[in-house]
């Protein structure tokens, strides 16, 4: 027995020495550098590259070391996973109802969406949404989507796993990377225009499965004539990583997006993500991001990067949502409580989270970009309603106030 234990210990020791970092290492290399040689020197291989940024993802041992003379910078690729949470109480709209019936819901009425439509509908603007998979067949999204890109299916092999759920920087109290607080599906039996549906095939799905469809549905309601570019960087379990998200940002810019919505966040400032955001801003792309759902003033990324419009969530009374982050980095507030939007399978649901406040601002940005407005962030901020009197504990920490889309697109 002793001999067997000794043999096992030696095998485990050898395994640990050779263990590869789960999510890989991201490097930025000098021009004309031999990336394959750099990876080989670190004991690994090249997995993926963004040549225009001189950045690559390497599969290397956890003990890998690269000197400053070999690379401009290096960092471990950050990854995480959204824990599973079952759904229940799905409903679908009766066939006699318009697919976009939810555009008249109370939160969108509060921010004057209907009146703003007489001035702009977002025609000619492309809004990229970096998210989980979108239901292209949903009636509320038909005619609103471009082909987009799937970075999950197309990701190269070579990294052991891209879903390290033990990452300590996760945004939500339940360790969620997407800013999704909860999903409580519409169950008002008095709503005669809704029909109950068991939708048993969705039961047990992770909330991330619906996240992309929900967010796209909000953008489609706010800017109905804009085109939405769905960029799948999160799988159905909510798993992603900083390199994949950075690739999605650069793809959006290079394929004509004028607005990028980012309904996710991390407490870790990653160079690969920071440089991708700067790449977009330098090319006159408007970026919106959710502030986070930890009821905290701790900034998260990409929302905290300079130039990104950081969005906190409020309720129908213009009070900060109990879950919403706050702080001096907040730019603007938008409804994020009991928001109705599309759900996969021709269904609709009610959701809460700053994830669903950010696309309201992204849609507003599309309305302004369609009208040729420059200084989009300033125009959005200039059209807000001051809500300090209803948030005395958060004065100076909720940005300029709650969005009023009509005031933004038609300032008086």
| Residue 134 near residue 343, CB atoms below 8 Å | no
Residue 314 CA to residue 32 CA, distance in Å, equals: 50
Catalytic residue list contains 355: yes
Catalytic residue list contains 400: no
pLDDT reported for residue 165? 34
* Cis peptide bond prior to 302, omega within 30° of 0: yes
CA distances from 389 to 96, 386, 395 (A): 42, 8, 8
pLDDT reported for residue 4? 44
Q: Which CATH number fits domain 2-77: 3.40.720, 1.10.8, 3.30.70, 3.40.50?
A: 3.30.70
Catalytic residue list contains 92: no
For 335-403, where are the alpha helices, taking DSSP H only? 358-370, 376-382
Instruction: Choose the weakest-confidence range: 124-133, 193-202, 334-343.
Output: 193-202
Write out the residue limits of the CATH 3.40.50.200 domain(s) in the chain. 91-409
Highest averaged pLDDT of the listed ranges 130-134, 232-236, 256-260: 256-260
Mean pLDDT of 247-275: 96
Residue 321 CA to residue 313 CA, distance in Å, equals: 6
Residue 77 CA to residue 239 CA, distance in Å, equals: 13
Homologous superfamily (CATH) of 91-409 is Peptidase S8/S53 domain (3.40.50.200)
Catalytic-role residue among 210, 239, 324, 355: 355
Write out the residue limits of the CATH 3.30.70 domain(s) in the chain. 2-77
How many Cβ atoms sit within 10 Å of the Cβ of residue 179?
A: 33
What is the dihedral angle through the alpha carbons of 149, 152, 154, 157, rounded to the nearest 10 degrees?
160
Catalytic-role residue among 92, 138, 144, 211: 211
Catalytic-role residue among 48, 129, 164, 171: 171
Q: What's the angle, vertex CA 224, arms to CA 222 and CA 230, rounded to 5?
A: 90
pLDDT reported for residue 209? 81
For residue 370, count CB atoms less than 10 angstroms from its CB and return exposed for 0-12, middle for 13-18, buried for 19 or more.
buried
pLDDT reported for residue 65? 86
pLDDT reported for residue 178? 61
Q: Determine how β-strand 332-335 pairs with β-strand 309-314.
A: parallel
């Amino acid at each position: 027995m002793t001999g067997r234990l000794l043999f096992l210990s030696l095998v485990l020791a050898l395994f640990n020495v050779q263990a590869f970092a789960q999510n890989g290492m991201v490097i930025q290399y000098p021009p004309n550098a031999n990336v394959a040689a750099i990876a080989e020197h670190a004991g690994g291989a090249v997995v993926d590259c963004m040549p225009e940024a001189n950045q690559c993802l390497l599969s290397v041992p956890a003990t890998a070391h690269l000197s400053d003379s070999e690379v401009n910078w290096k960092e471990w690729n950050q990854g995480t996973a959204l824990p599973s949470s079952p759904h229940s109480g799905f409903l679908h709209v009766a066939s006699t109802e318009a697919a976009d019936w939810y555009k008249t819901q109370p939160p969108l009425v509060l921010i004057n969406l209907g009146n703003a439509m007489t001035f702009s509908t977002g025609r000619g603007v492309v809004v990229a949404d970096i998210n989980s998979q979108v239901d292209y067949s949903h009636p509320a999204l038909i005619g609103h989507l471009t082909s987009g890109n799937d970075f999950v299916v197309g990701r190269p092999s070579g990294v052991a796993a891209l879903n390290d759920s033990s990452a300590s920087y996760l945004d939500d109290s339940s360790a969620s990377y997407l800013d999704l607080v909860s999903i409580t599906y519409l169950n008002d039996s008095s709503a005669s225009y809704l029909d109950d549906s068991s939708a048993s095939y969705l039961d047990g799905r992770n909330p991330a499965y619906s996240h992309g469809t929900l967010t796209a549905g909000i953008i489609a309601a706010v800017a109905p004539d804009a085109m939405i570019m769905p960029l799948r960087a999160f799988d159905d379990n909510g798993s992603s990583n900083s390199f994949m998200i950075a690739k999605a940002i650069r793809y959006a810019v290079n394929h004509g997006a004028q607005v990028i919505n980012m309904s996710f966040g991390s407490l870790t400032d990653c160079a690969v993500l920071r440089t991708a955001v700067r790449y977009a801003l330098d090319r006159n792309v408007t970026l919106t991001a959710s502030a986070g759902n930890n009821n905290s003033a701790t900034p998260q990324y990409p929302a905290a990067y300079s130039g990104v419009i950081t969005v906190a969530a409020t309720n129908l009374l213009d009070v900060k949502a109990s879950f919403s982050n706050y702080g001096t980095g907040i730019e603007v507030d938008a409804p994020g409580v009991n928001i109705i939007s599309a759900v996969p399978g021709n269904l609709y649901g009610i959701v809460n989270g700053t994830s669903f406040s950010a696309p309201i601002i992204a849609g507003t940005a599309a309305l302004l970009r369609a009208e040729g407005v420059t200084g989009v962030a300033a125009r959005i901020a200039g059209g807000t309603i001051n809500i300090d009197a209803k948030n005395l504990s958060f004065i100076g920490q909720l940005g300029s106030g709650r969005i009023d889309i009509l005031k933004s697109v038609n300032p008086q």
